[in-house]
């Protein structure tokens, strides 16, 4: 079974530029998550989708971050414009139903550096 | 935002040593506790999901216990090997929402 795919793996941009990340979850998984992990901290949930609807985006900085999951499969996360504090690893994960005891399967992440 | 704490922050052990780490979480509104292993440049890998007080799970040389009444979980590694070197993350979910609250992780280095 193929795992969660993410691209790119690494990205370096200057502040005020835009960047987009892509995620392809495990086939059949209804729930997709985007996390931000800043160095020295645990991953923080940015947004959770159930199929193509948003379940939770309470910690997504909506003035600069946006995410979509068209057709309930792939997802993109965009930052526009980027700030220095956005430097982090962005992890995508998927799970079958999204229930609390469901295992979340993670992609390898995208390491973003904002200069 | 709930506070999930892991200790120690980092750990260096010799190959063959046994070790353990702690994950502390709020004891109220407990729903599930997950453990993940995250090796450098790889995807975080799920180790255990625990939901019941007193749960004990085992996978090879790694095991975990859960105490929901006092709000902690222990992860044990018996006879550490260099390939166990990774960051071990716990994640707590409440019964009042769908969100995971991750700890900051314990970084384990096993010295050959």
* Dihedral of the alpha carbons of B54, B57, B62, B67, in degrees to the nearest 10: -20
Residues 7-66 of A with CB under 8 A from B: 33, 35, 40-45, 48, 55-56
List average pLDDT for each run of 10 residues in chain A, which is 115 residues long.
90 97 95 94 93 90 95 94 97 86 92 97
Asked if A108's CB is within 8 angstroms of B97's CB, the reply is: no
Give the pLDDT band (50/70/90) at residue B97: low
Cα distance between the two ends of chain A: 37
Query: Mapping DSSP to helix (H, G, I), strand (E, B) and coil, where does residue B79 land?
Result: coil
A1 or B77: which carries more pLDDT confidence? B77
The pLDDT, as a whole number, for residue A1 is: 61
Mutate to test the interface with A, among B98, B103, B106, B107 (most CBs of A within 10 A): B98
E-strand ranges in A41-104 read: 44-50, 53-56, 65-68, 75-79, 88-95
Q: Are A97 and A29 in contact (CB under 8 A)?
A: no
The pLDDT, as a whole number, for residue B88 is: 97
Mean predicted confidence (pLDDT) in B6-12 = 96
Structure tokens belonging to residue B87: 């960051």
Asked if A105's CB is within 8 angstroms of B46's CB, the reply is: yes
Asked if A40's CB is within 8 angstroms of B31's CB, the reply is: no
Pairing verdict, β B62-67 and A19-24: unpaired
Mean predicted confidence (pLDDT) in B82-101 = 88
């Amino acid at each position: 079974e193929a795992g969660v795919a993410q691209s790119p793996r690494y990205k370096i941009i200057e502040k005020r530029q835009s960047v987009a990340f892509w995620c392809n979850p495990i086939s059949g998984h209804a729930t997709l998550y985007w996390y931000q992990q800043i160095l020295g901290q645990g991953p923080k949930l940015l947004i959770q989708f159930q199929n193509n609807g948003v379940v939770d985006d309470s910690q997504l900085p909506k003035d600069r971050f946006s995410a979509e999951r068209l057709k309930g499969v792939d997802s993109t996360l965009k930052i526009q414009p980027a700030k220095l504090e956005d430097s982090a690893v962005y992890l995508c994960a998927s799970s079958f139903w999204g229930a609390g005891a469901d295992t979340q399967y993670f992609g390898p992440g995208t390491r973003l550096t904002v200069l | 935002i709930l506070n999930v704490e892991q200790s120690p922050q980092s750990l260096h052990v010799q190959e063959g040593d046994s070790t353990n780490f702690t994950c502390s979480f709020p004891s109220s509104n407990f729903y599930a506790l997950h453990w993940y292993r995250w090796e450098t440049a790889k995807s975080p890998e799920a180790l255990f999901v625990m939901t019941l007080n007193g749960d004990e799970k085992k996978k090879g040389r790694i095991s975990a216990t859960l105490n929901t009444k006092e709000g902690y979980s222990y992860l044990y590694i018996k006879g550490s090997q260099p390939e166990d070197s990774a960051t071990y993350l716990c994640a707590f979910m409440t019964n009042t929402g769908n969100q995971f609250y991750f700890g900051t992780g314990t970084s384990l280095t096993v010295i050959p």
